[in-house]
A and B are shown apart, each in its own frame.
Chain A
Amino acid sequence: MIFALVLIPTLAGLAAFLIRPDGPRRGLLMTTAVVQAALTVAAWIVRPAPVFGGWLALDALGLLFLGIISTLFLAAAFYAVGYLRHEEHQVERDFEEGFLFANAPEAVFTGCMLLFLASMTLVTVSQHFGLLWVAVEATTLASASLIYFHRHHRSLEAAWKYLLICSVGIALALLGTFFLAVSSAPAGEEAMPLLLGDLVRHAREFHAPWLKAAFLLLLVGYGTKMGLAPMHTWLPDAHSESPSVVSALLSGAVLNCAFLGILRAFQVCAAAGLAEFAQELLVGFGLFSMAVAAVFIFGQNDYKRMLAYSSVEHMGILALGVGLGGVATFGAMFHAINHSLTKAMLFLVAGNILAAYRTKISANVRGVARVLPVSGALWIAGFLAITGSPPFGAFLSEFTILRGALEQHRATVAVAYLALLAVIFIGMATPVLRMAQGEAVNAPQDRGGREARLSVVPAMALGAVVLLLGLWIPQGLTNVLQEAARALSKGF
């Protein structure tokens, strides 16, 4: 079953490169997404057995992130089909600078999207650090061409930065992986195979300085991909220049994949008794990322970039939650779900706004609620959800992390956390509410309040889930979240 999870999207992706007509290819995209989601649900009900000598297995953490990825991809696939129908095949005019550009061939786009799904799935099921690295790098490569879908100089710049910065960061993570192997051979013995379970079991005997260096390198390496400040510089560019559906996947799924890499390293550190060392680093990076995001969100006039910086903020919150430990770890795990779903929904809605208004400058967008009633409502709901307002899920998870900070008597951290959240709330509220309200001044075509179904239903579904999670968490989910949090606090 684990094989099927990885192989189906891989084969479908390769097939998508070859299928000529658009209809069947789009059908393939949707079918694969549905099959993947169904398999994921099955994996949640009955945990599949490890395969391939324990290299591929689903533990609670993997299951959690796999769930996020499959849900997002399901929504994104349907949205993408609507998006591709809308995007013309001929040359288009750029709405910022007025030059003409073409899009990448649709087959390449679909194929890369499916391979992207395959590589992300591989990240969640990898129990071997080397394989994990291979999979994370593969996500970078598959998504680089997605960012360069619109063939013009800005997206080219974004794709180049993304590819170069993330590849360099991930090369450091590979070095960290090697350090980990060295630390596992304390007295001139042979290094162990880097299987998570084995490493966690023997972590106490590891060579501490090398293990610390390994964690640092893995944190910086995967942290680059995750978008932790100050290694986040590729993130706003990539998110603002790629098609909105890709932004949604990047923000909601890829960042989490990289986070999973850090969590795996954290598990080994925790088992080796170095949890405090790792936690201090995570708290530091977390708060710094939140602060940087707060600075850049304020006065940000590009709404897609604003959402991108919000992702930096939330990655900071996740790192902070794990760094605080205790109940905050549970909160961080829950927050990963909330953030991913909400952010994906916001990016999908941003795509609708962009398609209607043809500008990314928030000051030029007015009256979304009138022109696009559904998207307008979702835009405001998404804003409330992402800033942690009740009754959405993010409120619960952010509050749990705050509780964790207070239970540990870390008042400074708690105060900084609350202050940054408040600043970001204000920073985001101004442009978002301005965009939603008022008279529509320069919406080019009034569609009489009608919106294409494929462009709003995925976002609505994601929003509904986030709202539901704020009101009621299913027992099955709680169990997995608790198991994941336990794995992080004890290392297994």
Chain B
Amino acid sequence: MSVDSILILVALTNLMLLAYSRLGASIRVTAAQGILLGLLPLVASPHAGWHAALIAVGSMALKGVVFPRLMFRALREAKVQREIEPFVGYNVSLLIGVAALAVSIWIGQQLPVPGATISSLVVPVAMFSILVGLFLIISRKKAVNQVLGFLVLENGVYTFGVGLIQHTSLLVELGVLLDVFVAVFVMGIIIFHISREFDHIDTDALSSLKD
């Protein structure tokens, strides 16, 4: 499996997330995306040494196993299956996704990478993930979907880091991983409380605070 094909599969998972209404399926797709990205550094530089392998395995375990479990737990607690009425419909979401893809390609052309990269697709795919993540956060009502959007956004940033920067330090990567883990964990707890407080996890009900 080459770097390019991994990146394209990541782009495809983004499109799938835009089209899916079933939350369970979205969680699985996000998990698959996490595992794909975990493979990325291993495929890009197979001889990078034990610390790259450690990070890769850690992030795969976290994004492929731990996060999906947390999210599925939240789903069980909240007893929801699917997002029924998002702010933006699924067809329009897909079309916006295609447009976002075009924008990402354009950004990739505007910012030529000065150093070495593992693939010319890194910047476009990373930007695409970031845009899709942001879009999911603002266009979906279910709290679970918003957390998935955050994860996709984070995955985009991670793609960028893996693709363009050869030597990041172990400490920082572990710290980033830990932060993301705690963030998702805390979000999971809050989702649990939201479902207990409101009997659903629609975040558009969170609207009592405003000016």
Contact = CB atoms under 8 A, between A and B. Distances in A.
A100 interface: no
Contact of A167 (B115, B150, B160, B176): B150
Contact of B211 (A153, A189, A191, A300): A300
B197 A153 contact: yes
B194 A241 contact: no
A161 B175 CA distance: 23
- Residue in A133, A141, A236 whose Cβ sees the most chain B Cβ within 10 Å: A141
Interface in A159-176: 159-161, 163-164, 167-168, 171, 174-175
A82 interface: no
A106 interface: no
B78 to A, nearest CB: 14
B209 A158 contact: yes
A163 B147 CA distance: 10
A137 B183 contact: yes
Interface in B121-175: 130, 134, 137, 143, 146, 150, 153-154, 156-157, 160-161, 164-169, 171-172, 175
Interface stretch (B15-23, B82-90, B92-100, B185-193): B185-193
Contacts of A263: none
Chain B contact residues: over half helix, strand or loop, or mixed? helix
A168 B150 contact: yes
Interface residues on A, range: 35 or more
B1 interface: no
Interface in B95-111: 111
A137 B157 CA distance: 15
Contacts, number: 130
Contact of A156 (B137, B169, B183, B197): B197
Contact of A189 (B115, B143, B193): B115
A161 B137 CA distance: 11
A105 interface: no
Chain A contact residues: over half helix, strand or loop, or mixed? helix
A241 B206 CA distance: 13
Interface stretch (A10-18, A143-151, A419-427): A143-151
Contacts of A241: 209
A467 to B, nearest CB: 32
B114 A156 contact: no
Contact of A154 (B146, B156, B168, B209): B209
Contact of A148 (B116, B156, B193): B193
Contacts of B167: 190-191, 193
27 contacts: A131-B171, A131-B175, A137-B183, A138-B179, A144-B186, A144-B190, A145-B186, A148-B193, A154-B208, A156-B190, A156-B194, A160-B143, A160-B194, A160-B206, A163-B187, A163-B190, A167-B150, A168-B137, A168-B150, A181-B168, A183-B114, A189-B115, A190-B115, A190-B166, A191-B165, A213-B111, A305-B211
Please list the 8 inter-chain residue pairs (A to B) with the smallest Cβ-Cβ separation, ordered nearest first.
A130-B172, A134-B175, A157-B206, A185-B115, A237-B209, A137-B179, A207-B114, A175-B157
Interface of B: 111, 113-116, 130, 134, 137, 143, 146, 150, 153-154, 156-157, 160-161, 164-169, 171-172, 175-176, 178-179, 182-183, 186-187, 190, 193-194, 197-198, 203, 206-209, 211
